[in-house]
Structure 1
Amino acid sequence: MHVVIMGCGRVGAMMAAALERLDHTVAVIDKDAQAFRRLGPDFHGQQVVGPGFDRGVMVEAGIERAGAFAAVSSGDNSNIISARVARETFGVEHVVARIYDPKRAEVYERLGIPTVATVPWTTDRLLRTLLPDGVASAWRDPTGKVALLQVPVDEGWVGRTVKEFQQATGARVAFIMRFGTGVLPETKTVIQADDQVYVATLSGTVSDVVAAAAQSPEEGN
Structure 2
Amino acid sequence: MHVLICGAGRVGQGIARKLAREKHEITIIDENAELVDQVSIDLDVRGIVGHAAHPDVLKRARAEDCEMIIAVTHFDEINMVICQIAHTLFSVPFKIARVRDRSYLDLAWKNIFSRDGLPIDMVISPEAEVGDAILQRFRTPGTIMSASFAGGRLKLLGFELAEQNPLIDMPIDQMRGVFPNLSARVIGIGRGTDIRAPRGRDVLKPGDRAYVAVLDAHAERLTSIFNRDQGRLDHVVIVGGGNVGLHVAKILERESHIRVRMIERNVAQANKAVAQVKRSIVIQGDGLNPDILAEAGADRADFVIAITDDDKTNLLISNLAKRAGAKRALALINAPELASLADDMRVDTVLDPRALTVSQVLLRMRRGRILGLQTLEDGRAEVAEGVTLESSSLIGKPIDYDDLPEGVVAAALIRGETVIMPGPDVLVRPEDHLVIFYETEMVRAVEKFFRVNPDYF
User: When the two structures are superposed, what TM-score results if normalisation uses the length of structure 1?
Assistant: 0.76
- Structure 1 gap segments, 5+ residues each: none
For residue 252 of structure 2, the aligned residue among 5, 10, 19 is 19
In the alignment, the residues of structure 2 paired with residue 40 and residue 131 of structure 1 have an alpha-carbon distance, to the nearest angstrom, of: 43
Aligned-residue RMSD, C-alpha: 3.5
In the alignment, the residues of structure 2 paired with residue 122 and residue 213 of structure 1 have an alpha-carbon distance, to the nearest angstrom, of: 23
Q: Does 1:166 align with 2:398?
A: no
Cα deviation code 1:59-105 (max 9, x no counterpart): 01121332221111111111122223333431324x32222124544
Cα deviation code 1:121-173 (max 9, x no counterpart): 12334566898995254433353332111123232432123379722x95322
Residue of structure 1 equivalent to 2:300: 65
Q: Which has the higher contact order (CA 8 A, sep 6+)?
A: 1
The amino acid of 2:273's aligned partner reads L
| CA deviation after TM superposition for structure 1 residue 107, in Å | 5.3
Contact 1:102/1:120, CA 8 A, preserved across alignment:
no
What secondary structure sits across from 2:342 in the alignment? helix
In the alignment, the residues of structure 2 paired with residue 32 and residue 99 of structure 1 have an alpha-carbon distance, to the nearest angstrom, of: 20
In the alignment, the residues of structure 2 paired with residue 215 and residue 103 of structure 1 have an alpha-carbon distance, to the nearest angstrom, of: 41
Contact 1:177/1:196, CA 8 A, preserved across alignment:
yes
In the alignment, the residues of structure 1 paired with residue 442 and residue 272 of structure 2 have an alpha-carbon distance, to the nearest angstrom, of: 41
Contact 1:53/1:78, CA 8 A, preserved across alignment:
yes
| CA deviation after TM superposition for structure 1 residue 180, in Å | 3.2
Residue of structure 2 equivalent to 1:108: 342
Contact 2:299/2:324, CA 8 A, preserved across alignment:
no
- Percentage of matched positions with identical amino acids: 19
In the alignment, the residues of structure 2 paired with residue 126 and residue 185 of structure 1 have an alpha-carbon distance, to the nearest angstrom, of: 28
Residue of structure 2 equivalent to 1:39: 273
In the alignment, the residues of structure 1 paired with residue 365 and residue 272 of structure 2 have an alpha-carbon distance, to the nearest angstrom, of: 30
Residue of structure 2 equivalent to 1:141: 376
What secondary structure sits across from 2:428 in the alignment? coil
In the alignment, the residues of structure 2 paired with residue 133 and residue 15 of structure 1 have an alpha-carbon distance, to the nearest angstrom, of: 34
In the alignment, the residues of structure 1 paired with residue 341 and residue 444 of structure 2 have an alpha-carbon distance, to the nearest angstrom, of: 27
Residue of structure 1 equivalent to 2:285: 50
In the alignment, the residues of structure 2 paired with residue 91 and residue 101 of structure 1 have an alpha-carbon distance, to the nearest angstrom, of: 24
In the alignment, the residues of structure 1 paired with residue 286 and residue 441 of structure 2 have an alpha-carbon distance, to the nearest angstrom, of: 39
Going from structure 1 to structure 2, the CA distance change for 1:206 and 1:136 (only over 3 Å counts) comes to: farther
Residue of structure 2 equivalent to 1:153: 388
Contact 1:152/1:210, CA 8 A, preserved across alignment:
no
In the alignment, the residues of structure 2 paired with residue 191 and residue 199 of structure 1 have an alpha-carbon distance, to the nearest angstrom, of: 13
Going from structure 1 to structure 2, the CA distance change for 1:85 and 1:170 (only over 3 Å counts) comes to: same
| CA deviation after TM superposition for structure 1 residue 4, in Å | 0.8
What secondary structure sits across from 1:177 in the alignment? strand
In the alignment, the residues of structure 2 paired with residue 115 and residue 140 of structure 1 have an alpha-carbon distance, to the nearest angstrom, of: 15
- Structure 2 gap segments, 5+ residues each: 1-233
Greater share of helix: 1
